[in-house]
Chains A and B, each alone.
Chain A
Amino acid sequence: MAEPAVMLDGISKQYGSFLAADNISITVPKGELFGFLGPNGAGKTTTIKMMTGLLEPTDGTIEIGGVDMWKHPLQAKKKIAYVPDHPTLYEKLTGWEYVRFIASVFGIPARQAEEKAVRLFDLFSLGSRADELIEGYSHGMKQKMALTGALLHDPDVIFLDEPTVGLDPKSAKTLKDLLRQLCDDGTTVFVSTHILEIAQEMCDRIGIIRDGKIAALGTMEELRGESSASLEDIFLELTGDEEQQELIRELAGGRSDAP
């Protein structure tokens, strides 16, 4: 295995008596596109927040490129970028001002930052709106602006929480291609998603979390084992969706026009 870009060692997060994350250990090597799946409330966002310095784990250690996120947060944060599912950006800044803010924080030289921003704006079709206040952007545009800010400093690891939510098909395709390209160039991407096709198509390895615990971890082939099951089948089997399926059948049976 290549040198680890992200290493989670026995991390847990407890809220009172509720264990949101329970002894999670994952190692993501450099250049890997790692998919993190799980049903709603399984602990995906909690885990990502702990990895990005937003939530302190109750137990365990998190290392980014060998730097402990909670012992040396500044060094670790210089290596990462995070795009949440609903990024609340500074709405009273224009796109350019936001980029300038990020460039200043990361100490990127002006010329380099400007060139990079122009490329990213073009890629995400934001160029014509970059002089407008972010508050006037649609959700998808805000998502793309957050991605622009995240990619500006060439991070070693990018954490993305539901990155395709709100994106139009073209932008979603651009993002998928970009993430693949970034990983091929050595960047590590840790992505949480509900869209199983994305995980199946793009990810090198997949981790499935349920009730705060890792239920499965491996490549698609490793998860399938001997069977020819799809990721959806594996996911539903691991996350115990049988009862819901039964309920859907019952509800559909109760309707006169049910198939």
Chain B
Amino acid sequence: MIRTLLGVQARMLKHTMETNKTGTNVSHAIIGFVVILFLLFALNIVTSLPTAYDTELVELLFSYVFMMVLGLILLMGVPQVFKHLYASRDLTFLFTLPIKVSHIFWVKYIQSFLNIPAALFIVTFLPGLAYGLHAGVHGFFYPALLVVTLAIPALGVAAAYFINMGLVHIIPAKRANELMTVMSAVSGVLVYGMFQLPNLLTEPGPGSETALPTGLLPEMPAWLPMSWGASALTSAMAGDVSFLLPTVGLAVAAAGLSFAASALVEKGFRSGWIQLNEGKNKKKKAGEKGRRFKVGSPVAEIGWKEWRYMKRDIREWLIFMPFVFLFIFMGFGYTAGSSSVAAFRELDPVLSWTAVQAAALFIYAFFNGSLSASFVAREAGSTWMLHVLPLTGVQIACGKLWMSWLIPFLPVSVLQMTAGILLGWPVSFFLLGLVLSALISPALSALGIWTGAIGGKYNPSNPQNRLQFAPSLLMLVLSYVYVLLTLIPVLLVVVPAESAGLFEKVAGGGIIGGSASAAASLLQLKLTNSALVTAGSILVFLFLTIGTCVAFLYLAGRRIEQGIQVSMPDSKE
């Protein structure tokens, strides 16, 4: 039966590829090409390594490679296994057929393995093989490499299954829709924890950080499976028979954990699926008792509708993930580096203000477009309603614009003001920063709405990915080009005319030299006629920001009126 089910899956995959749009197949081909390039790159690196090696160094290197493999599998595998086990559309059908639940489970298990884990097996096994041949290691290395590079991903998949089947019983069924988000968060925490393991478990002291010449990485505790794999491979390379124990141990652990997961089939898989599907239709009160019926403008209502959608579905919050990571990294860099608030306070307010504005604009350029594009893509199945209602495309675009602009604008402005208080800016700097952000950022949101209208994609399980590949790339490029262009008139106002000499030194040919000579000429003009250049810069700035916003709103509106087609990939895969 497992063979039959796998055969069906293979045929479905074949037909999906045959019926995919050309664009989808092209993106798959590009991904394949990138993987092959990466593989060739890795092969090139390992074959150029010296053939004489330091055993300790190689062992540590292997153990970190295996940790990365496990980390990647957990990071991507936990949510993916959830999809396979509990969110596949075919389960409703398969559970009605006379098929053993364990058979369905194993098919799902194999499917999970033949995905990222299989790819990781290939990208670790082949370079390992190449290195072995290049360094002329002992023959034991090759079977050990095969077993270890297979066992490590298998361990990761088994762990992902255990985590899913356990959590599905802990999390309330009525939160089934949000479970995927929880799984993503759990996998993130797990991976973070795993990468901290060597730090946490290694006793600080002499010799604990000396395995690498850089002395940066702590040693991996010997009882971790990554260390078993590494130890097996280094022993096998030297022809030491002791490689057998960790190799067999790892294989047994992977197989044992996989079979232990399969033993939980009834409890974890079948009953978990039932529990989630029962929970799906549970009543969900919005708690609006004592409401007052109000009617707003259509534009305002469209914005509020988007806000309610975001607020009520935790999955939608995934869109903030890059935003949150950005803040964590920036905050970490700020506090962990040699700099401190006190040191920053020493900076000239003009410099600190410029740095903060640049950071804010970077965030807007990075975030606004994808957020507003998701507001369009979210319409997906309900696009019919917008078309039937007496609304112009521009009205719809404006409705989505104001809310998608406000959501990032409020927190970023609060952060800007906090930074200003910490860095001791004068009041005029606060106001100028807010005005700048308020003028520059709407066009980025408008650009996102237009991009969403031309290339929206909707998969409820993957809310942070609401754009097709090419439009998302276009949006990213246009966002940064726009921000850079708007900064030219801003800098022309801010930079003192006396700095013209500095630019003249750099002036010359090429992009940088050309830009510098243009800047020098403009600053020279400012030196002679400051009012004209300042007024002209402000006008150009307003034209660029307002003009771009209006232009993209108009284009988005037209596109919406022509009819938007949101691509809806099967949420199963």
Partner of A132, one of B284, B294, B309: B284
Nearest Cβ distance between residue B560 and chain A, in whole angstroms?
12
B390 interface contact, C-beta 8 A: yes
With A54-B563, A100-B295 known to touch, is A93 a contact of B308 (CB < 8 Å)?
yes
Known: A94-B288, A111-B293. 18 other contacts (CB 8 A): A54-B384, A56-B563, A77-B389, A77-B390, A89-B382, A90-B309, A90-B382, A93-B309, A100-B293, A100-B296, A100-B301, A105-B301, A107-B295, A110-B294, A131-B285, A131-B286, A131-B291, A138-B281
* A100→B416 CA distance, assembly (Å): 36
- Tell me whether A133 and B295 are in contact (CB under 8 A): no
Chain B residues, Cβ within 8 Å of A84:
384
Partner of B295, one of A53, A75, A113: A113
Partner of B293, one of A52, A53, A73, A113: A113
Nearest Cβ distance between residue B79 and chain A, in whole angstroms?
21
Interface centre among B381, B387, B561 (most CB of A within 10 A): B387
A103 interface contact, C-beta 8 A: yes
- Tell me whether A110 and B293 are in contact (CB under 8 A): yes
- Which residues of B (271-300) have their CB < 8 Å from a CB of A? 281-289, 291, 293-298, 300
* A113→B284 CA distance, assembly (Å): 24
A97 interface contact, C-beta 8 A: yes
Chain B residues, Cβ within 8 Å of A97:
286, 288, 305, 308
- Tell me whether A96 and B381 are in contact (CB under 8 A): no
- Which residues of B (363-405) have their CB < 8 Å from a CB of A? 380-382, 384-385, 387-392
With A92-B313, A110-B293, A133-B286 known to touch, is A77 a contact of B388 (CB < 8 Å)?
yes
- Tell me whether A133 and B284 are in contact (CB under 8 A): yes
- Tell me whether B295 and A135 are in contact (CB under 8 A): no
B3 interface contact, C-beta 8 A: no
* A102→B296 CA distance, assembly (Å): 10
A204 interface contact, C-beta 8 A: no
- Which residues of A (82-108) have their CB < 8 Å from a CB of B? 82, 84, 88-90, 92-94, 96-97, 100-108
A74 interface contact, C-beta 8 A: yes
- Tell me whether B286 and A132 are in contact (CB under 8 A): yes
With A77-B390, A82-B388, A105-B389 known to touch, is A96 a contact of B293 (CB < 8 Å)?
yes
- Tell me whether B390 and A78 are in contact (CB under 8 A): yes
- Tell me whether A104 and B296 are in contact (CB under 8 A): yes
Interface of B is mostly: loop
* A88→B385 CA distance, assembly (Å): 8
B15 interface contact, C-beta 8 A: no
Chain B residues within CB distance 8 Å of chain A = 281-289, 291, 293-298, 300-301, 305, 308-309, 312-313, 380-382, 384-385, 387-392, 561, 563
- Which residues of A (41-87) have their CB < 8 Å from a CB of B? 52-56, 73-75, 77-78, 80-82, 84
- Tell me whether A131 and B289 are in contact (CB under 8 A): yes
Q: How many A-B residue pairs have CB under 8 A?
A: 105
* A156→B298 CA distance, assembly (Å): 21
Closest chain B residue to A106, Cβ basis: B390
A109 interface contact, C-beta 8 A: yes
Nearest Cβ distance between residue A122 and chain B, in whole angstroms?
15
Nearest Cβ distance between residue B350 and chain A, in whole angstroms?
45
- Which residues of A (178-206) have their CB < 8 Å from a CB of B? none
Nearest Cβ distance between residue A106 and chain B, in whole angstroms?
7
Closest chain A residue to B300, Cβ basis: A104
- Tell me whether A136 and B282 are in contact (CB under 8 A): yes
Closest chain B residue to A138, Cβ basis: B281
Nearest Cβ distance between residue A96 and chain B, in whole angstroms?
6
A-B interface, 9 closest residue pairs, ranked by CB to CB distance from nearest: A88-B381, A77-B390, A104-B301, A114-B293, A110-B295, A78-B390, A94-B286, A92-B309, A92-B312
27 contacts across the A-B interface (CB closer than 8 A): A52-B387, A53-B388, A55-B563, A77-B388, A77-B390, A82-B388, A88-B384, A89-B385, A90-B385, A93-B305, A93-B309, A94-B286, A94-B288, A97-B286, A97-B305, A100-B294, A100-B296, A101-B301, A101-B305, A102-B389, A104-B297, A104-B301, A131-B285, A132-B283, A132-B285, A133-B312, A136-B283
- Tell me whether B382 and A105 are in contact (CB under 8 A): no
Chain B residues, Cβ within 8 Å of A94:
286, 288
* A55→B389 CA distance, assembly (Å): 14
* A89→B294 CA distance, assembly (Å): 20
With A89-B382, A90-B382, A96-B288 known to touch, is A53 a contact of B283 (CB < 8 Å)?
no
Chain B residues, Cβ within 8 Å of A89:
382, 385
Nearest Cβ distance between residue A162 and chain B, in whole angstroms?
14
- Tell me whether A88 and B382 are in contact (CB under 8 A): yes
With A100-B295, A103-B295, A131-B285 known to touch, is A54 a contact of B387 (CB < 8 Å)?
yes
* A84→B384 CA distance, assembly (Å): 9
- Tell me whether A105 and B283 are in contact (CB under 8 A): no
* A81→B309 CA distance, assembly (Å): 24
* A78→B390 CA distance, assembly (Å): 5
* A55→B388 CA distance, assembly (Å): 10
- Which residues of A (130-168) have their CB < 8 Å from a CB of B? 131-133, 135-136, 138
- Tell me whether A74 and B308 are in contact (CB under 8 A): no
- Which residues of A (189-241) have their CB < 8 Å from a CB of B? none
Chain B residues, Cβ within 8 Å of A52:
387-388
- Tell me whether B390 and A74 are in contact (CB under 8 A): yes
Chain B residues, Cβ within 8 Å of A107:
295, 298
Nearest Cβ distance between residue B299 and chain A, in whole angstroms?
9
- Tell me whether B291 and A53 are in contact (CB under 8 A): no
- Tell me whether A109 and B385 are in contact (CB under 8 A): no
Chain B residues, Cβ within 8 Å of A80:
388
Closest chain B residue to A146, Cβ basis: B385
Interface centre among B283, B293, B297 (most CB of A within 10 A): B293
Closest chain A residue to B293, Cβ basis: A114
Chain B residues, Cβ within 8 Å of A113:
293, 295
Closest chain A residue to B391, Cβ basis: A105
Chain B residues, Cβ within 8 Å of A138:
281
- Tell me whether A104 and B298 are in contact (CB under 8 A): yes
Chain A residues, Cβ within 8 Å of B286:
94, 97, 131-133
- Tell me whether A105 and B390 are in contact (CB under 8 A): yes
* A55→B565 CA distance, assembly (Å): 12
* A104→B389 CA distance, assembly (Å): 11
Chain B residues, Cβ within 8 Å of A131:
285-289, 291
Chain A residues, Cβ within 8 Å of B308:
92-93, 97
Chain B residues, Cβ within 8 Å of A73:
390, 561
Closest chain A residue to B281, Cβ basis: A136
* A113→B298 CA distance, assembly (Å): 15
Chain A residues, Cβ within 8 Å of B382:
88-90
* A74→B293 CA distance, assembly (Å): 26
Closest chain A residue to B313, Cβ basis: A92
- Tell me whether B388 and A54 are in contact (CB under 8 A): yes
- Tell me whether B284 and A135 are in contact (CB under 8 A): yes
Nearest Cβ distance between residue B313 and chain A, in whole angstroms?
6
Chain B residues, Cβ within 8 Å of A133:
284, 286, 312
Nearest Cβ distance between residue A165 and chain B, in whole angstroms?
16
- Tell me whether B387 and A53 are in contact (CB under 8 A): yes
Closest chain B residue to A75, Cβ basis: B390
Chain B residues, Cβ within 8 Å of A117:
293
